Structure 1
């Protein structure tokens, strides 16, 4: 099998292996956060802020341990790249996750999942703006099909809520910008940001900066009042809440590490969304009409088309690189033969 011909196989294997780890984390965190925020603790921005701090602590510990064990420092972005590239990625990611968690109070799992999957549309638009994708008929077709599918999915939905829908769509816009900017940052090999934990280390401070003002405006006062009540002042209740936050934070750390690995191999609407919708329908009582199901099918078709187009592009690049290397090797061999003859 030719080297470039194995690209399809390699992409599939990598997607499968990373997906086997990513999807349980993603599904678990989605259902866990919705239960926790709706039933236990109505301060989603504070929960997210704690998760951000935990992720930054994990990434910092990894980098410190690596430097101590291997006596070699990890990559550190220079200020221009850190302020612009990492800053855009971090602020967008912060708003994406923060708004997504806020929406759990107003929407069902199924509507959240399908609404959030529209981030692929905004990701493609942002990718065109950042020159990661070309604006051609295939890109426009994917955007159009997924947009139409999303319209059908939300058409006359029995459990539709405008507040939740708007929060999810704002999160999707931020999510699209987030992943396009992440791809742009990680694709620059000269920056050395291929390791997800290095990416988290550089992006997380910006995510904290992005969420703190929102927390101070919308939740700080309420949290202070809660701490003065009999419930909030009881040590056992506080420890229980911190344990529940840490449980979600652990899933969030694992999911974000795997997200950066998965973003190169699949689109944002994949098996995870389908499984989430199925579980929400079977176990949470979410209602989906046949029109909504048709919208889901169209979205899935658009997602598959996006994956195929992306993989073909990777195969084409791999084929070009392989041909170039072969020609260069042949040229080197010919030069060596001529030298030996002389």
Structure 2
């Protein structure tokens, strides 16, 4: 029994390290590739579409060769449940990646940390949570921390801020819609695994992202933002290869995340996420020279306190429910 527990602990530690590394690497990769002061690959929507396309191919290969069954949905269920969830996920990722073209990685990370606020707000709307004083206190704490961060940001960009805030709102909506999707499914646990959900959502995300890219970015119409990356076959292949590399990073991060949640809990992932945010912000200062003011530091500390309060609430809720 002790050896089994020890083996599980080692696997969970491996999942944490894998998620930690690839999550941090993906943040640095995205900023380096899309930052206007760096590689300036100003096609975040196209890149997001390529990532989702990679996820679609890989999840289908996993499902096929592992002989895993997936939940089947009627046309009505598909368009009422899956499509809105996939669109919300696509909007989140597109806005998040687009914001990195305009704002610093540290500012992006701190504003994106407001996601628990939107998770709770949409939880109230969906009926998953009831408004309580402690939850309102958590929301207020995180909002105050984000306000301090915004007020103290030396390189504030309105468009970039709106994009990353939209990503945080869409993230809160997506998680609640995913929870609703998983709860309302009628199949067994194996059929409704996160990988199976990813199997259904990835194609919707790919189509949504590609459509947005073709309408907004027009990557193949020799726009100033894209002509350098697609003016020859060699450059086109290299650009696709670079974007595909990010898709593989994102997929490995997601798989490690799923196994971590399966082996421990979402609380473990959230706590690891707090330390990851601190590491990403530190790297953004060291690598990109991001400037942090006193108000920015204060906002970060206040937001972390709020996130810890949120995680503590979720932990005690799960513990009470188990009892």
User: Equivalents in 2 of 1:89, 1:61: separation in Å?
Assistant: 22
Cα pair 2:24 2:276 within 8 Å, conserved = yes
Equivalent residue number for residue 43 of structure 1: 43
Q: Secondary structure, in 3 states, of the residue corresponding to 1:163?
A: helix
User: Equivalents in 2 of 1:114, 1:275: separation in Å?
Assistant: 12
Equivalent residue number for residue 196 of structure 1: 194
Q: Secondary structure, in 3 states, of the residue corresponding to 1:166?
A: helix
Root-mean-square deviation (CA, aligned residues, Å) is 2.6
Check if 1:207 corresponds to 2:209: no
Q: Comparing 279-288 with 78-87, which one deviates more in the overlay?
A: 78-87
Gaps of 5+ in 1: 1-11, 320-342
Pair 1:231–1:215, CA change in 2 (3 A): closer
Check if 1:225 corresponds to 2:222: yes
Q: Comparing 75-84 with 39-48, which one deviates more in the overlay?
A: 75-84
User: Equivalents in 1 of 2:20, 2:183: separation in Å?
Assistant: 24
Per-residue CA distance 1:186-227 (angstroms, 9 max, x = gap): 34573445422211111112212322331121122x433169
Deviation at 1:245, TM superposition (A): 1.0
Pair 1:183–1:18, CA change in 2 (3 A): farther
Q: Secondary structure, in 3 states, of the residue corresponding to 2:66?
A: helix
Equivalent residue number for residue 23 of structure 2: 26
User: Equivalents in 2 of 1:56, 1:195: separation in Å?
Assistant: 16
Per-residue CA distance 1:17-54 (angstroms, 9 max, x = gap): 64322221211111101111231522111111111111
Deviation at 1:308, TM superposition (A): 1.0
In the alignment, which of 294, 311, 320 is matched to residue 290 of structure 1? 294
Cα pair 1:183 1:264 within 8 Å, conserved = no
User: Equivalents in 2 of 1:206, 1:181: separation in Å?
Assistant: 14
- What's the TM-score, normalizing by structure 1? 0.80
Cα pair 2:89 2:205 within 8 Å, conserved = yes
Deviation at 1:285, TM superposition (A): 0.8
User: Equivalents in 1 of 2:275, 2:228: separation in Å?
Assistant: 45
- The structure with the largest alpha-carbon Rg is 1
Check if 1:52 corresponds to 2:48: no
Per-residue CA distance 1:228-272 (angstroms, 9 max, x = gap): 968634333222212211110101112233445548334496222
